[in-house]
Structure 1
Amino acid sequence: MPDLSLIFLACAIVALGAIVQSLIGFGLAVVAAPLLYFIDPTFVPVPLLLQGLMISIFNWYSNRHNTDIASMFYALIARVPGALLGLWLILHFNAKGLQIMIAIAVLSGVISTLTSYAVRFNRKNLVIAGFISGIFATVAAIGGPPMALIMRHQETAKIRGNLSAFFTLSSTISFFVLLAGGRVQLHHLSLGLLLLPAVILGFFLAKLVIDKVERQHIKWITQIVCSISAFMLLYQAIFN
């Protein structure tokens, strides 16, 4: 268990990620995963996945009138084999390999916010996005970028609502896959509980500023922070 000062630092990081996700629809794990991994690798994926589940529940309820979960059906189905493959990667890769995968997942999130390429919202692309989301979410709790890319041209309220509904159900899938694979321990659940107040704080802080900040500014800041963190992870994994 990390000491108290590291717990407070982790809570601050999770609160920041919760604010970002509440404002743009995804981002908690993209922001938090590399930073938490530096603090203590045990924060990723299970405790962080639990925080992603909680913020998704809050945002789903908050945006429930802009949610069409039926439209996400094929992505949810594809999430299952993706989560199973993610579990296989966790079981067969060492710590450096997982560190590199986390960095790749984070950078994919940055790229998804930079590109202007319009991915069609259809059955095939939903299956592909759901499958990739399942891999990244199970390995690093980062399931947002593939789904955000396919939904980026929808209205902001619908993006928040549909992504939140998808993440609530898909994070549950990944959690039970990790549980069945023996990757969920009591100390992971304890860390998850310690981080929970930070998610609640981030959610309510986002509510206070949601109409006062530019989403584009949030994206720029998120891109910079995440890129630096991801490249630091890669450097550490390759050269240390």
Structure 2
Amino acid sequence: MSASALLLLAAVVAVAAFVQGASGLGFALIVAPVAGLLNPGLLPVMLLAAMIPLNLYIMLRERGALDLRGAAWISVARIAATPGGSLLLLVIPERHLGMVVGLATVLAALASVAAPAFTPGRGAYMGAGVITGLTETTTGVGGPPLALVYQHRPPSELRATVALCFLVGEVVSLAMLLSTGQGGTELLRPTLLILPAVVAGVVVSRFAHRFIDASRMRVFVLGFALVSGVVLMLGM
């Protein structure tokens, strides 16, 4: 990847880390389409690795609002579905990965917009976990199913619980991909290069997350996801 492309990716990552730190969602939806356009080979390993420190920080910052029951059901289903995502990645050629990421991003954003209000139960938690396990292991994008479950809960609960679910799932997915040879450790080098951008974005969000209108931020994230997903699909 050229220096200019790396700088562009770092800028996008900083914005995405700020958005996720402030709203609890959006990092993968923002970064995955851009990374797919710049270098599809970075997905999903780079994205999963970058999100581990990000979500660890958010989870610790908002730990008082955690929904441990929901997180437990989601994580059990998420871990059970991870091998299925790994198998999907085996059958998707790298040249088509950008199309898959773009399509997954657009469908996830549309589902987030269209979903009606509801009170989540065990079935909703486990359903979200299964879908997240498949899509995040394959493309790095897994937030929208969790957003659907927690979209009508207090913002602090959404941020904390989604961060914990992400953290567990990302560690499991990354370990499986690396252990099965579907992502070499050389793909972790770009993560180290963009890590300062992750830190910068999430640190700024620390001072802003209490004052940002969550509904407007959600509209921004979903709008960006739709546009970038379509661009990625057309570009591939």
TM-score (norm 2): 0.93
8 Å Cα contact 1:69-1:165 kept in structure 2:
no
Which residue of structure 1 lines up, in the alignment, with residue 32 of structure 2?
Answer: 33
CA distance in 2, matches of 1:5, 1:100: 24
Which residue of structure 2 lines up, in the alignment, with residue 222 of structure 1?
Answer: 221
Which residue of structure 2 lines up, in the alignment, with residue 109 of structure 1?
Answer: 108
**What CA RMSD, in Å, does the superposition of the two structures yield over aligned residues?**
1.6
8 Å Cα contact 1:103-1:231 kept in structure 2:
yes
CA distance in 1, matches of 2:210, 2:66: 20
Which residue of structure 2 lines up, in the alignment, with residue 195 of structure 1?
Answer: 194
Return the offset for 1:96: 4.2
- One-letter amino acid of the counterpart of residue 122, structure 1: G
Q: Kindly indicate whether residue 65 of structure 2 is the aligned counterpart of residue 57 of structure 1.
A: no
Q: What is the SS of the residue equivalent to 2:207?
A: helix
Once the two structures are superposed, residues 7-27 of structure 1 have per-residue CA deviations (whole angstroms, 9 ceiling, x without a partner) of 111111111111111111111
Identity %: 24
Alignment gaps of 5+ in structure 2: none
Once the two structures are superposed, residues 86-134 of structure 1 have per-residue CA deviations (whole angstroms, 9 ceiling, x without a partner) of 1111111113432222112211332244235124411112111101001
Counterparts in 2 of 1:14-33, with a 5 A limit? 14-33=13-32
CA distance in 2, matches of 1:212, 1:68: 22
Number of corresponding residues: 236
Counterparts in 2 of 1:41-120, with a 5 A limit? 41-120=40-119
Alignment gaps of 5+ in structure 1: none
Which residue of structure 1 lines up, in the alignment, with residue 154 of structure 2?
Answer: 155
8 Å Cα contact 1:53-1:168 kept in structure 2:
yes
TM-score (norm 1): 0.92
Which residue of structure 1 lines up, in the alignment, with residue 178 of structure 2?
Answer: 179
Which residue of structure 2 lines up, in the alignment, with residue 12 of structure 1?
Answer: 11
Return the offset for 1:189: 1.2
CA distance in 1, matches of 2:111, 2:62: 23
Moved more, 88-97 or 129-138: 88-97
CA distance in 1, matches of 2:49, 2:83: 18
- One-letter amino acid of the counterpart of residue 139, structure 2: A
Return the offset for 1:222: 1.9
